[in-house]
Chains A and B, each alone.
Chain A
Amino acid sequence: MKDFEYANPTSVKAAVDLLSDSWGNTEVLAGGTDLITSMKQGLTEPTRLVSLKNIKKLQGISKKKGTLQIGAATTLSALAANGDVQQHFPALVTAIEGIGSAQMINVGTAGGDLFQRPRCWYFRQGYGLLGVYEGKSLIPEGDNRYHAIFGNAGPAYYVNPSSLAPALIALGASVSVVGDGGEREIKVADLHTTPSNTGQREFSIEPNEIAVAITIPMNGLKNATYEIRQRRGLDWPLVTASVAFKAGSIVSGTNVVLGHVAPVPWRSSAASAALNGKFVNAAAAAAAGEAATRGAAPLSKNGYKVQQVKVAVKRAILAANA
């Protein structure tokens, strides 16, 4: 790992002032479970690391005006153990439990989970986010078994790795970010972007902005996440579905969000529309699962994910309704 300066500010303002306005010059350190590996691999070589550990304001979970506010540096284990989260947001609890490692969730934070970098093996081996070698992406004809089946017309083929993002999007959550221009609110649904060239990162925040809190409306939506994994061990899922909807005699306000199928968490409006106005039963859930696959364009080695999308959406809907 290249040498760097370690900064340990105690306020958000001081942390923002220590950040550079171009990506990679400086990096924000939360739990470090992703960033430290990226630095060892040389994927980023910052000259300064700005730790969030000693900023008290970024820790903790509280109720505020009909919402749950989660400090961005709250650990994933604290989040999963919180009574309100357990009672109201099972979609989130399942997503955290799926990570499956006490060591990771004790240290990894909610903010870090949202901003972790993709696991695409071309990216991790140094070919950049777009997997380019000699001017051409290696992915379409390469080993793309874990890559995108939606939003993959190019140049990005990797999948968004965050387990929390699909659940938070389904629940209508937003993130407050602070930069040198002050604080702004971004929907989690708008947090991830698809880069069009190798110089860009995959987020809508600026390099010198810090996420400070996640806000989830507490509006009684039924919700659940269903993950399909190769094994119940330490690895990222193959496909996940998070769903939330207003329960009544018939369903309304459905949000179906897929994970690990596209460069961004993938909102399926077709699946949402298929469930709205229905009674929840196995047939309606299966129809929504079928609808969720509309427009899927698998690469050479990941066609299996299409069937997994059907199953994950169906089971997530039935779990939310249980």
Chain B
Amino acid sequence: MSGKTHVQTTINGEHTDFLCEPRQSLLEVLRDVVGLTGTKEGCNDGNCGACTVILDGRIVTACLVLGVEAEGAEITTIEGIASGGILHPIQQAFLENAALQCGVCTPGFILASKALLDENPNPTEHEIRFWLANNLCRCTGYDKIVRAVLDAAATMQEV
């Protein structure tokens, strides 16, 4: 009916243009149009956090943002977290702590954790647990995730 809109954004530091319909969520656009399938779909209604990305410096659930709303925005997805061949300390800590099983929740947890550590480099376990309230994991029981974030915080303070 209303055709496709041309949207210009910066995704993971690279200027990225895409065409999308108004009804496509940013999650659909990232996965199906831009081809960045690291961002996952869980609930598609804001509850699970699997689709968490960083939009203009703040974490959001990409399933509740429209692609057309991203005009002019800077977006960071899980594909933009490592530098070159080197994993981000949070990614490394998730691996070392076995903080993932199926991995569907992991990109969302890593981006949400990054936003936390950028703001609060030395969070308590309590703060981590509350901060990650909008990220659900069906596999790990959360404890390993919380340990991983604590470890990552410690590593990031060393460097």
B65 within 8 A of A: yes
Q: Is the CB of B58 within 8 A of A106?
A: yes
Give A35's nearest chain B residue, CB to CB.
B64
Please, how many angstroms separate the alpha-carbon atoms of A234 and B64 in the complex?
A: 16
Q: Is the CB of B64 within 8 A of A102?
A: no
Minimum distance in angstroms from A312 CB to a CB of chain B:
21
B59 within 8 A of A: yes
Give B44's nearest chain A residue, CB to CB.
A40
Please, how many angstroms separate the alpha-carbon atoms of A233 and B44 in the complex?
A: 18
Q: Which of B21-29, B74-82, B86-94, B147-155 contacts A (4 or more CB under 8 A)?
A: B21-29
Given contacts A49-B22, A233-B133, contact A106 B60 (CB under 8 A): yes
Q: Is the CB of B22 within 8 A of A100?
A: no
Minimum distance in angstroms from A213 CB to a CB of chain B:
22
A201 within 8 A of B: no
- Interface size for A (C-beta < 8 A) is 30
Minimum distance in angstroms from A245 CB to a CB of chain B:
30
Please, how many angstroms separate the alpha-carbon atoms of A29 and B23 in the complex?
A: 13
Minimum distance in angstroms from B78 CB to a CB of chain A:
15
Please, how many angstroms separate the alpha-carbon atoms of A1 and B22 in the complex?
A: 10
A232 within 8 A of B: yes
Please, how many angstroms separate the alpha-carbon atoms of A104 and B25 in the complex?
A: 16
Q: Is the CB of A32 within 8 A of B130?
A: no
A304 within 8 A of B: no
Q: Is the CB of A103 within 8 A of B2?
A: no
Q: Is the CB of B66 within 8 A of A32?
A: yes
A204 within 8 A of B: no
B124 within 8 A of A: no
Q: Is the CB of B64 within 8 A of A107?
A: yes
B134 within 8 A of A: yes
The interface residues of chain A lying within 8 Å CB-to-CB of B23 are 1-4, 39
Minimum distance in angstroms from B118 CB to a CB of chain A:
12
Q: Is the CB of B66 within 8 A of A36?
A: yes
Cβ contact of A53, chosen from B22, B25, B69, B133, cutoff 8 A: B69
Q: Which of B8-16, B31-39, B45-53, B97-105 contacts A (4 or more CB under 8 A)?
A: B45-53
Please, how many angstroms separate the alpha-carbon atoms of A304 and B94 in the complex?
A: 41
Q: Is the CB of B69 within 8 A of A51?
A: yes
Given contacts A6-B5, A32-B64, A40-B45, contact A103 B22 (CB under 8 A): no
Cβ contact of B133, chosen from A31, A37, A100, A106, cutoff 8 A: A100
1/0 contact trace for A85-96 toward B, CB 8 Å? 000000000000
1/0 contact trace for A141-175 toward B, CB 8 Å? 00000000000000000000000000000000000
Q: Is the CB of B2 within 8 A of A36?
A: no
The interface residues of chain A lying within 8 Å CB-to-CB of B22 are 3-6, 49
Q: Is the CB of A36 within 8 A of B64?
A: yes
Give B54's nearest chain A residue, CB to CB.
A106
The interface residues of chain B lying within 8 Å CB-to-CB of A234 are 47, 133-134
The interface residues of chain B lying within 8 Å CB-to-CB of A102 are 58-59, 112, 115-116, 131, 134
The interface residues of chain B lying within 8 Å CB-to-CB of A2 are 23
Q: Is the CB of A37 within 8 A of B2?
A: no
The interface residues of chain B lying within 8 Å CB-to-CB of A39 are 23
B1 within 8 A of A: yes
B106 within 8 A of A: no
Please, how many angstroms separate the alpha-carbon atoms of A41 and B45 in the complex?
A: 9
Give A101's nearest chain B residue, CB to CB.
B134
List 7 interface pairs A-B (beta carbons < 8 Å), by A numbering. A3-B23, A36-B63, A49-B22, A102-B112, A103-B49, A103-B60, A107-B61
Known: A2-B23, A102-B59, A106-B59. 4 other contacts (CB 8 A): A3-B22, A36-B25, A36-B63, A36-B66
Binding site for A on B (CB under 8 A): 1-2, 5, 21-23, 25, 44-47, 49, 52, 58-61, 63-66, 68-69, 112, 115-116, 130-131, 133-134
Binding site for B on A (CB under 8 A): 1-6, 8, 29, 31-33, 36-37, 39-41, 49, 51, 53, 77, 100-104, 106-107, 232-234
